[in-house]
Structure 1
Amino acid sequence: MSVIRGARERARIEVTAAIKEEARRQLAAEGAARLSLRAVARELGMVSSALYRYFPSRDDLLTALIIDAYDAIGAAAEDALARAVEQDAAPADRWAAICRAAGEWAVAHPHEYALIYGSPVPGYTAPLDTIGPASRAALALFSVVRDAHRDGLLTQPPGNPLAAPVRADAARLAAELAPDLPVRTVAALVAAWAQLFGLISFEVFGQFNRVVEARREFLDLAAAGLARQVGLGATASASTDTPEEIPADASAADGVLPAK
């Protein structure tokens, strides 16, 4: 019986993977709003009733794809952090490694990224099951700051005093996620997290076209700024950076105005 049960479990895993793979293909071709269980079943040569035994509704399939996407980008962030820790990198460089890994995953998987960070799918409400996976990349960033604070390497974030409503939100998050961190640092962390994924979304959704060509280098620059914003100091690349002069023969056609 155990042999039969094992074969059935393997078959279920294989069919589930095939369903998800076809659903991702449909996401790329049609978008999440047009994802159809019947279409997935048809492409796989299954009857709809058979597919419903794996995913009872379109929303169940969407949830599975969303969790997979969050877990994938979260794993990329966590793996990058683990490598940086193994190399004994400075806190700001650990932060930058996470930012770079998240950006690279998003560029390599634009349709899955759009599913979790793009426009909401009409008629779909994400269940609580998605919260844990959705938190993984952000918690990797939090862990860098918490370790820096523990080791005495965290400075006070720059800026004006927090408005009372912002302080209340940050205090609630600090109590839930990082009670050891100053409230002001938590507020800066949330802002940096949102800015990071705004930058990544600009690249994935084409907002940097004809604006930023050196995408990876620009993200590294932005990540270094976000590191300073939360009190981590400069990354190794930023600390060795030197100002560059605009070439003397640069012209207005290159997007640089001539000196007056």
Structure 2
Amino acid sequence: MSAAKTARERVRAEMVREITDIARTHLAREGAAGLSLRAIAREMGMASSAIHRYFPTKDDLLTALIIDGYTALGDAAEASQHDQAAPAERWLALCHAVRDFALARPHEYALLYGSPVPGYRAPADTVAPALRATVVCGRIIADATPAPPDSTPPPAVLGPDIEALRQVMPGVSDVAAARAVTAWTALFGAVSFELFGQFDNTITHRREFFDHGMRSLARYLGL
């Protein structure tokens, strides 16, 4: 690889980083639907046509932001884990990592888990980053071998769905797999309620309330 090519790639990487950094500030002000390549180019002092060399369309920029967001969440989820800890503590650490990410980066969380952006369809290359936090959850469930007590097996019609879930939590029982989906959904529901204002004027001690709920889910999971 020539030095000139390396320099070009470095400049391109820096431009992409600057564009996405500015896009995140616009995301906070305008929301995903209001994101504009033209406005970003104007803020950078470049011709609107020039920005298309880096992101041909707004959807390409959204995809980059989504991948960045899922990557940051995946990093936080993986960093929360200590393999020697008990499964219940690993679950709690994961839950708090998700909440901390959402509170620190609310507009990125909203892009990932809020209302869909009208007309945007996420491409396949967002799937692997999106699964990283889910895989952490799956490992915790798979490592917690006891089945949840007093549990009713899911209906037979869910068999194919349960098998698909075992890709991220191999070897778990049908009951544990089904409960994992319910708990994972409850985790993001709790985070979203807090972030999007549904707890306003109701829940004051939000971290403590969240921790209590996630501990209850740990028991529900049989951890």
TM range (shorter): over 0.9
The CA deviation string for residues 196-220 of structure 1, in whole angstroms up to 9 with x for no partner, is 0000001111111121111111111
In the other structure, the counterpart of 1:162 is 154
Offset at residue 173 of structure 1 (A)? 2.2
Report matched runs for 1:239-250 at 5 Å.
none
Q: Is the contact between residue 199 and residue 219 of structure 1 (CA under 8 Å) also seen in structure 2? A: yes
| Residues 15-24 or 154-163, more deviating | 154-163
Structure 1 runs of 4+ off > 6 angstroms? none
Structure 1 unaligned blocks of 5 or more: 233-260
The CA deviation string for residues 97-150 of structure 1, in whole angstroms up to 9 with x for no partner, is 00001101100100000000000000100111111111111111111111222x
Equivalenced residues, count: 223
Structure 2 unaligned blocks of 5 or more: none
Does 2:216 correspond to 1:225? yes
In the other structure, the counterpart of 1:181 is 172
Offset at residue 189 of structure 1 (A)? 0.6
Distance 1:20 1:76 in 2: 20
Does 2:209 correspond to 1:213? no
**For residue 137 of structure 1, what is the amino acid of its counterpart?**
A
Identity of aligned residues (%): 52
In the other structure, the counterpart of 2:73 is 73
Q: Is the contact between residue 32 and residue 117 of structure 2 (CA under 8 Å) also seen in structure 1? A: yes
**For residue 221 of structure 1, what is the amino acid of its counterpart?**
H
Does 2:96 correspond to 1:100? yes
Offset at residue 169 of structure 1 (A)? 1.8
TM-score, structure 2 as length reference: 0.95
In the other structure, the counterpart of 1:49 is 49
Offset at residue 178 of structure 1 (A)? 2.9
In the other structure, the counterpart of 2:5 is 5
Q: Is the contact between residue 66 and residue 130 of structure 1 (CA under 8 Å) also seen in structure 2? A: yes
Offset at residue 180 of structure 1 (A)? 1.1
Distance 1:158 1:35 in 2: 49
Distance 1:166 1:159 in 2: 16
